[in-house]
Each structure stands twice: as structure tokens, then as C-alpha cells.
Amino acid sequence: MALASSSRLLHRFSSSSLPRPCRRRVPRPRGHSRFAVRWEHRAAAVVVLLPRALLGGGFQDADAAESDEEEEEDAHGVLRPLDADDVNLDLHAPPSGPERWDVLGLGQAMVDFSGMVDDEFLHRLGIQKGTRKVVNHEERGRVLRAMDGCSYKAAAGGSLSNSLVALSRLGSSRSTNYPELRIAMAGSVGSDPLGSFYRAKLRRANLHFLSKPVKDGTTGTVIVLTTPDAQRTMLAYQGTSSTLSYDSDLASLVSKSNVVIVEGYLFELPHTIEAIKQACEDAHKNGSLIAVTASDVSCIKRCYNDFWDIVTNYADILFANANEARAFCELSSTDSPMSAARYLSHSVPLVSVTDGVHGSYIGVKGEAIYIPPPPCVPIDTCGAGDAYASGILYGILRGSSDLKSIGLLASRVAAIVVAQQGTRLRVQDADRLAESFTLHLDNLEFCSDIETDHVSNF
């Protein structure tokens, strides 16, 4: 479904005359309402037992096994070994892809190492619980050595890839009559085995990773440590390939994409802000919808002016959690996320603010719609916001103009991911959610045709 062809989806907001919330923002050089939406109100993971396999460069030879919904245990209950294809890919020309992409994500390509630890483990290593920290090679090695002997999973991760995999699975559902969504990602991986692993896992999730590997580069990793209270602590190692270059290949991809998503973590990488600006400028010229993820409070604080330059001049959609939204607005921790959503929506056409078990808010034109959370027993909160963003994007791409329904879909996607171990929306859950949302949209259209009031039960 081409985004620009949906008459139910697109129209222009009038520019807001209300003052902007932040004094330091870069003045907006063009009309705020250029392109907006009409509103009525685990990819295959690998269980790795020995961190030393990575530390010694022996990841390719690790005693690993696949455990994913697409690759179940065999008849004898023995997990099949890691496929040679996972680490020996053709690292040259990416697939040509379709004439246009529904969604192109620009983000960090990171391999996640996720494991369950207790509070004592974090205290012993001097790691502050619930934070995200950028670490060097030595610090990463120290943590992985401390995890030696523990079970943990390796997956093609990164915040944006979590959202794109979920979106791809929602958009590939066999339970709807919609055409399959075409989802792609561009980023930076090395020519090392971890880079090959990353590309293979996204390919298996029907997500096309289009960037060529960086010669002699090392792929970035994130260690995700989850404690029994479902809190996550992240240690990011950016690797030598952590950069984004805006070359002719990437410019061509941007020009052929209906939606371009920029991951906020890119802002903290060296020399990437100009690439982000060029990508957003080209996306704007081609009439693409532009979304930005806030990613992390510390990232916002370090790159505050760059964030606001991109968000206020280009973004049609901003994804943030409550703390990130408050950081954008320079509000205190006592201010409500609803206030932040309202404030931000004077500068961005659509603002999505999540607040964990308290629900979420969708801000539009100075107003905020509250989305109640579905019942959920959290097991692992890692990836909740990523999953929520996929639900918002899916609703938009399927042509819905009912903000409440889109928000409820997004909260259901997030709740399913939070209630499991791992960050990825499973295929069977995606099918069920997509089918339910399609039935809901059909019911709305039917009720509209016969001019009756409709109460949403979605």
C-alpha cells in the first residue's frame, strides 16, 4: 500500500500559533504542516553458553543453537545448530528490493547479548541498575567474562530493528488481505562474523538490511542485563563500524521510501548529524513521512540541540517515553507525561509518549489522548517502546485515522512483548494482532457507511 495514495491517511495540519516549549531550539525555516496525518481526535536468537567465544573471536565456532518460533526444536527435542549461512554471507551487493519501500529505517545495527542477572551481579560490577551506558572494548569484556557460565542470548538487535521486525511481521500477516509491507533498514555493520550474523537474522525476519559491510570494521554490541523485577540495564559497545555515511546508495533508498525512521541513538555517533540532515532533507523533498525515535534520556541531553534541529524542522512523528519527553521539554520529573505530550505536539504533528504500566499518550495539536494499558504481567521490559512504535506505524500504514484504536493496537503489541523473554514480536502474535485490527477497521468502515455511531471495542 503506497502511503501517499491513501486518501484516508494524509492531509495537512495548519501551523500552530502557540509558542514552542524550548528556548534553545533552532528556528523552523519552513511551514510546519508540510506533511501530516489526518486524525479524528525475538528474530532468530542464539543461545550462547560461553562469552569467551566472542572475546576470543571464536563466535563462529561457538556451541550455539537456534531457538525461535520459526526454528523450533526437532522431533527429539534437540535444537538445531547454528546454520553456516548465518556467518558466511555474501557481503557484497545488497538485494535490489522493490521499486519503493514502505518503510526505511536508519539506525544502529547492534548485536544484542541478553541475560538474566540479579541485583548483586550489578552491584559487584559497579553497574547502575536501569541505565544505559556506552562502554569500550575492555569494559565490555569485563562484563562478559563475569557472565561466563551463564546462559544468555545473542540476537540481531538495536532499538530500531526491534520496531522494524515487529512491523514487518504485522505487515506480513497471512490473516489479512492487505498487501505485504516492504520494510528495509540501513546502518553500519562490520565485515566480521557478528556483522554476517546480524544480516542473516534480519533476512530471516523478512527485514531487508541494505547497507554494505564496513571493510575491516567491527560490529557494535549491546549487553542487556535484566533483573527479576523486569528492569533492564544496557551496556553499548559501538564498535569501529558505528557511523552512518550518506552516499548515493543511501540517497537512492531514501528517495524511494514512503516512511523514513531515524533512530535517536544515531545522534551520539561521530559525524552522523550531517548524514541525518541530508536524509531528512531528501525525504522531505520526496514527500516521505519522517519519524524520529528519542531512544534515551542521556542521548537527548548529550545531543539536545541536534535533536531539536531535526525534530522541529523535519519530524512528522516523534516516539518517546515519559522521561525522554520530559527531557525534550526540560520539564521536571513531577510533570506529567500528558503535559509533555501536549507541549511537544505544538511542534511535531504526532507525538507518542509511553509511560509503562500507567499507559500512554498520543499528542496532536496541543491535545493528548490517553491510551490505557492492557492487562500484563511484565517479564522483560526491554523492547516495550520499540514494540509500541511498530503498532503506531502499522496503524498509519494501514490507513486508519482513529488515533484511539491505533494507540490501543500499539499498547497491545507492547504488552505482548513485555510478557515474554526477548524483544521481538512473535509471528503468531503478529498474525493475531493484525487480524484483530483489520476486523476493527472493517467494522469502522461499515458503521461509517451506514451512518451509525460506533463504540470501539478494539
SS (H, E, C) 119-164: HHHHHHHCCCCCCEEECCHHHHHHHHHHCCCCCEEEEEECHHHHHH
What is the reported pTM?
0.76
Q: Please give the pLDDT value at position 16.
A: 33
What's the whole-number mean pLDDT along residues 85-95?
A: 35
Confidence of residue 177 (pLDDT cuts 50, 70, 90): confident
CATH of domain 7-14+22-45+101-109+155-220+242-449: 3.40.1190.20
Mean of the per-residue pLDDT values of the chain: 77
**Amino acid identity for residue 182 in this structure:** R
Q: Give the integer Cα–Cα distance in Å for 291 and 198.
A: 24
151 or 38: which carries more pLDDT confidence? Answer: 151
Q: Could you report the per-residue pLDDT of 392-433, keeping only the tens digit for each?
A: 999 999 988 899 999 999 999 999 998 887 778 888 999 999
DSSP letter at 99 equals: S
* Tally of CA atoms within 13 A in the half-sphere of 181 that contains its CB: 31
Confidence of residue 279 (pLDDT cuts 50, 70, 90): very high
Confidence of residue 383 (pLDDT cuts 50, 70, 90): confident
Q: Give the integer Cα–Cα distance in Å for 424 and 114.
A: 12
* Tally of CA atoms within 13 A in the half-sphere of 268 that contains its CB: 19
Question: Residue 37 above 80 pLDDT?
Answer: no
Q: Give the integer Cα–Cα distance in Å for 280 and 61.
A: 41
What's the whole-number mean pLDDT along residues 323-352?
A: 94
Question: Residue 57 above 80 pLDDT?
Answer: no
- Cα radius of gyration (the chain): 21
Confidence of residue 147 (pLDDT cuts 50, 70, 90): confident
Question: Residue 158 above 60 pLDDT?
Answer: yes
Q: Please give the pLDDT value at position 23.
A: 35
259 or 383: which carries more pLDDT confidence? Answer: 259
Of the spans 55-59, 114-118, 321-325, which averages the highest pLDDT?
321-325
Q: Please give the pLDDT value at position 56.
A: 40
Question: Residue 347 above 90 pLDDT?
Answer: yes
Q: Please give the pLDDT value at position 382.
A: 75
Q: Please give the pLDDT value at position 444.
A: 65
Question: Residue 15 above 60 pLDDT?
Answer: no
Confidence of residue 98 (pLDDT cuts 50, 70, 90): low
Q: Please give the pLDDT value at position 445.
A: 57
Domain segments of the chain: what residues?
7-14+22-45+101-109+155-220+242-449
What's the whole-number mean pLDDT along residues 318-344?
A: 95
- What does 203-228 look like in DSSP terms, one character per residue? HHTT-EE-PPPBTT---EEEEEEE-T
